[in-house]
Amino acid sequence: MSGRIAFQGELGAYSHQACHQTHPEMEVMPCRTFEDVIEAVRTGAADLAMLPVENTTYGRVADIHRLLPESGLHIVGEAFVRVHINLLGVPGSTLAEIRAAYSHLVLLPQCATFLRAHGIEGRVSTDNARAARDVAEAGDPTMGALASEMAAEVYGLDILAPRIEDNDHNTTRFLVMSPTPDYSRRGEHGMITSFVFRVRNIPAALYKAMGGFATNGVNMTKLESYMVDGQFTATQFYADIEGHPEDRNVQLALEELDYFTSEMKILGVYPADIERH
């Protein structure tokens, strides 16, 4: 599809890479916050939103699960993006010259072994793509940025050392959000249904609510709890299951879930990404 896809961060961010990977035909729209991304789609300024939900190294992305149910948007796709971290420098600089490398607080520890081996000091930046932009603007051959290949391309930097991350399986999962749901598709690699729910205040409610998925042979790939409105007593659960609500076994499992929940909301039904398997 043509149109615009919004993401949080600056050009060259890993979210930008996710947009390019899944919808290369769309124009990208950088936004300052996740709330701004959602609002861009809600107001029609963008057609789709690209939001990170979890990373294999540092876990779930803060705030996203809180924002999704109230966003008014629907999940229509997912993307798994390998996070390759590269040391970038101004054109003509060399690895031996780099004294300090800037990046987001989350990325710096992921390159600790490399930085220590080369005597490079890690310094915190608000965003990895912002770090690349700042290095490009400074023009200082002793400054480096830890960022994506795309950031190097966007800001005209050289890749002085590629793929320096300690963990070579570092992957971020993104969700593609739309103003309208689409239940019509059947993915080549299966379907995922995502939903949130709150259990009724009865003994073993969560255990009973989950029973329907086991007895009906529905695979639950994710179940997470998080507090609502900062209250310890108000817990909401987020779940991903394999299958489509029109599948008979999923239908039966959701009916059983409904009996034990005070609230249940489907966030999206979408094709499973090939990288999931």
**Domain map (residue ranges) of the chain:** 4-82+171-178, 86-161, 191-276
Active-site pick, 7, 34, 114, 174: 174
4-82+171-178: CATH, from 3.30.230.10, 3.40.50.620, 3.40.190.10, 3.40.50.2300: 3.40.190.10
Contact present, 41 and 26 (Cβ < 8 Å): no
pLDDT of 265 > 70? The answer is yes
CATH of domain 191-276: 3.30.70.260
> Each residue of 139-173: pLDDT tens digit?
999 999 999 999 999 999 999 999 999 988 889 99
Q: What is the mean pLDDT of residues 24-31?
A: 97
Q: Is 57 a catalytic residue?
A: no
pLDDT value, residue 204: 85
pLDDT of 276 > 90? The answer is no
> Each residue of 126-138: pLDDT tens digit?
999 999 999 999 9
- Please determine whether the domains at 4-82+171-178 and 191-276 fall in the same fold group of CATH: no
pLDDT value, residue 213: 97
Active-site pick, 7, 34, 172, 260: 172
The angle subtended at Cα 134 by Cα 133 and Cα 138, nearest 5°, is: 120
**CATH fold of the domain at 86-161:** D-Maltodextrin-Binding Protein; domain 2 (3.40.190)
pLDDT value, residue 58: 79
pLDDT of 10 > 80? The answer is yes
Q: Is 7 a catalytic residue?
A: no
Q: How far apart are CA 165 and CA 42, in angstroms?
A: 36
pLDDT value, residue 255: 94
Element (H, E) at 198: strand 191-199
> Each residue of 176-216: pLDDT tens digit?
999 999 999 898 899 999 999 998 777 888 888 899 999 99
